[in-house]
Amino acid sequence: MQLDLIEILKIAVFGIILAILDKVLESVDKKEISTLVSIIGLIMILIMTVSYMSNLFKSLVAMFHL
């Protein structure tokens, strides 16, 4: 399973939206909510990429016969 360009763009757009939301929330003095949104966004991106990381480790194990 290859990492498609669409998946990379989804992650990039999600990160850009999170960055904009973070700056907007900080500018209206909602720093606690901004931090919470950033943490939730990070978790969501990790969930999106966990299957690709799993495939990477499987291919490394197969390549090096571990």
The answer to whether the predicted template modeling score (pTM) of the entire model surpasses 0.75 is no
Please state the domain count of the chain: 1
Find the domain containing 28 and state its range: 5-64
Predicted pLDDT at 3: 61
Token pair for 49: 């990429």
Please give the average per-residue pLDDT across 5-25, as a whole number.
Answer: 92
